[in-house]
Amino acid sequence: MSAVTTTNLHGMLAEFDDPEAVVEAIHRTQEEGYTDFDTFSPYPVEEFADAQHAHTSWLPWIVLAGGVAGALTGWALQFITSTEIYPMNIGGRPFNSWPAFIVVMFECTILFGAFSAVFGMLALNGLPAPYHPLFNVESFKRASQDRYFLCIEAKDPNFDAERTRAFMESLNPIEVNEVEE
C-alpha cells in the first residue's frame, strides 16, 4: 500500500464478507473509542443497527405531522369551498355536510403522510447525494451486492491514519482502503 497521506482523507474503509465479523468489529471499534464510524451492507442488518445504537428516528413524528396537515387541508378545502366560495344546495342538505367530507379528508391524510414518509426519509438520510467520497473506493461497489463495510471517518477525534489502519487490519477484514475526499 502507498504511503498514507492524511491531508484530504475521508476515512478508512474495511471490507468484510461475513456479517458476524462486522458485528464483532463494531463492538471493538466502540471499545477503541471511535464514535464517527458507520457500517454498510447490501440489505438491512438489524444487528448492525443494534450494535451502533441506531434506533431513534424522527420519521414517525414527521409522518404524523404530515398526516395531520393532510387531514386539515382536506377538511379546509371542502369546508371553505362548500360553505363560502361555491355553496350548492344538494337535496336540501347543509352546506357543511361533514360526514360526506370524511372520505376526501381520509385520502388527503394518507397522501400527505406518504409524501412525508418518503421525503422525510430521504431528507433525514441526506439523500439524494450524487457524490460521496466512499464511491471513490472501487471495491465499495460491492456494498450494494454482497459485501459489508466498516468506515471510520477522519473527523473522529481518535482518527490517525496509521493507527486506525493498523487497528482495522486487526479486525480480520478482506482488505482496508483509504477513502479519499
Partner 1 sequence: MANVPFSDDDPRTRLKSPIVAPGHTPATVTDKISTVITAETPKWWFLGAAAAFGLLSIFLLSVGMLFYKGVGIWGINNPVYWGFAIINFVWWIGIGHAGTLISAILLLLRQNWRNSINRFAEAMTIFAVACAGMFPLLHLGRPWRFYYLLPIPNTFELWPQFRSPLIWDVFAVTTYALVSILFWYVGLIPDLATLRDRAKNKFAASIYGILAAGWRGSTKHWHQYEVASMLLAGLATPLVVSVHTVVSFDFATSQLPGWHTTIFPPYFVAGAVFAGFAMVITLALPLRYLFNLQDFITDTHMDLMGKVMLATGLIVVYGYAIEIFIGWYSGSPYERYMLLNRMTGPYQASYIALFVCNFVAVQFLWSKRVRSSMLALFIVSMFVNVGMWLERFVIVVTSLHRDFMPSSWGMYQGTIWDWSTFVGTIGLFLTLMFLFIRFLPMISIFEMRMILPEASKAKKEKH
78 binds partner 1 per the rule CB under 8 A: yes
**x/- site string to partner 1, residues 50 to 69, per CB under 8 A?**
x-x-xx-x-xx--x---x--
Among 4, 5, 146, 163, binds partner 1 (CB under 8 A): 146
Candidates 2-10, 17-25, 161-169, 173-181 — which segment interacts with partner 1 by CB under 8 A?
17-25
Are 165 and 176 a contacting pair, CB within 8 Å? yes
Binding status of residue 127 toward partner 1 by CB under 8 A: yes
Determine how many CB atoms are found less than 10 A away from the CB of residue 44.
Answer: 7
Q: How far is the CB of 175 from partner 1 (least distance, A)?
A: 17
Q: Does 128 bind partner 1 (CB under 8 A)?
A: yes
Q: What's the half-sphere exposure (Cβ side, CA atoms, 13 Å) at 77?
A: 15
Nearer to partner 1, 162 or 181 (CB): 181
> CB-based burial of residue 69 (10 Å sphere; 0-12 exposed, 13-18 middle, 19+ buried)?
middle
Separation of alpha carbons 140 and 147, rounded Å = 8
The reply on whether position 90 binds partner 1 by CB under 8 A is yes
CA angle 113, 117, 122 (to 5 degrees): 150
Q: Which of 16, 25, 82, 153 binds partner 1 (CB under 8 A)?
A: 82
Among 36, 65, 69, 101, binds partner 1 (CB under 8 A): 101
Q: Are 38 and 104 in contact (CB under 8 A)?
A: no
Residues 6+ apart with CB under 8 A from 175: 14, 15, 139
Q: Does 169 bind partner 1 (CB under 8 A)?
A: no
For residue 56, what are the CA distances in angstroms to 40, 59, 106, 137? 18, 9, 28, 30
Q: Specify the stretch interacting with partner 1 by CB under 8 A; choose among 4-12, 116-124, 152-160, 162-170.
A: 116-124
Report the nearest approach of partner 1 to the CB of residue 167 (Å).
Answer: 19
- Of the ranges 1-9, 39-47, 153-161, 167-175, which one interacts with partner 1 (CB under 8 A)? 39-47
